[in-house]
Each structure stands twice: as structure tokens, then as C-alpha cells.
Amino acid sequence: MQPSGTFHRHNEPYPTATPAVFLDRDGVLVEETGYLHTIQDAILISDAPHAIRRLNQRHIPAVIITNQAGIARGYYTWEDFHLVQTHIERQFQNHGALFDGIWACAHHPQGAGPLASHHPFRKPNPGMILDAASKLNLDLSRSWLIGDKTIDIKAALNASLAGAILVRTGYGKSMEDEVHALASSPTSIHVCDTLAAAVTVILHHLGYNE
């Protein structure tokens, strides 16, 4: 583990700049349970593995970017995070769904101790997306993000992604009005009921006819 407030693990870079899909984790890939930190509470959102598999099949990088402020707030530790994260990835793997990378940021200005600060990786800042782009060789101008909070969508805007999709899982339904207010940005913004529907929108925009 890196001795800091951030963590990342990723595959080898793509040989040519490749459009990716950035995914928030809690409320998008797994049920939002409020500062998820036990494997018992890590429940996959139904059909999420299938949605990720559709990206895998087309060699579209799937990259998790997750704020983990619960660590700065002292609710759980990096060790808890790693146990949960490994468990989640294994569950997806059991369904044949793989991620190309995972970035996490534990900082929060209202936290306690050394992580009680702003950080360029903490969404809505684009740091995790930019770091992933440089390490995996991603083409951000053709990349998309799927999230369930306004800060996810703002991170996509701040990274100048092609598009961002709010899903109505997790906190998504309560964020819809805020997200619609961002619609004048150059980043294309959509709202979808499910992750599966969001992936369909993205595949269409990337030129795949299913």
C-alpha cells in the first residue's frame, strides 16, 4: 500500500490511446450502504458484471475511481478497504468481468488526522482520471464516466471527458436536478436508470451497434 491518502492498481498501458469508461464504485457497481467497509455489505448491483463484460468484450478499459472519505473520517481503514475491494473484484471475476484499474482517494477536508485535506485526486477534482489516463494510455476526449453523485459528473467535466452518465441507483435519483443544471457543459450528460442502460448509451456513442 502506498503510504499516502491515495491508492491505485492497474494493468499495463494500452499500446494506443484508448477511450475508457470510468466507474464510480459505491452505488454504481455495488449497492450504496453508506461508507461500505465490510464484505458482508458488499452486494453487487444486479447485472453490473454483465455490463462490465460488455466493455471487456470490446476492449474498452473499465476503470474504477472511488472517493473513500470514510478513511479520512476514521470510519474504517485502508485494510478494510482492500478486503472489500478484493472481494468485489473477485465477485466480478467470477462472472467473467474484469477491471483495468482501480483508483481510490481517502482524503476529505472534514476528516481527521493527516488525510483531513483537499486533494487533487478527490472527486470532483479530475486527478484520479488524469493519473489513470497517463498510466493506462487513455484517450480522455473519447472517454466516459458513470456515477451516482453530482461530484462524479463534475469530475468528468473537470477532466473534459466526452460524456458522463448519472445512474438512478445509489444516490442517483436525488442528484438528478443538480446534474441537469450542468447540462450546458461541453461534456455530454445523460441520466439512465441502470448501469446496463448507461453502457448501452456509451457503446452507441463509441460507434458500436449492438
Q: Which residues have a catalytic role annotated?
A: 24, 26
> Measured from the CB of residue 30, what is the shortest distance to Mg ion in angstroms?
9
Q: How far is CA 163 from CA 37, 69, 143, 166, 178, in A?
A: 30, 25, 7, 10, 16
Residue with smaller CB distance to Mg ion, 31 or 139: 31
DSSP state of 114: G
- Nearest residue to Mg ion on Cβ basis: 27
Residue with smaller CB distance to Mg ion, 26 or 131: 26
> Measured from the CB of residue 143, what is the shortest distance to Mg ion in angstroms?
18
Provide the binding-site residues for Mg ion, judged by CB under 5 A: 24, 26-27, 148, 170
Residue with smaller CB distance to Mg ion, 143 or 169: 169
Q: How far apart are CA 72 and CA 58, in angstroms?
A: 37
> Measured from the CB of residue 39, what is the shortest distance to Mg ion in angstroms?
18
Task: Answer yes or no: are the C-beta atoms of 38 and 85 closer than 8 Å.
Answer: no
> Cβ-count burial of 49 within 10 angstroms (0-12 exposed, 13-18 middle, 19+ buried)?
buried
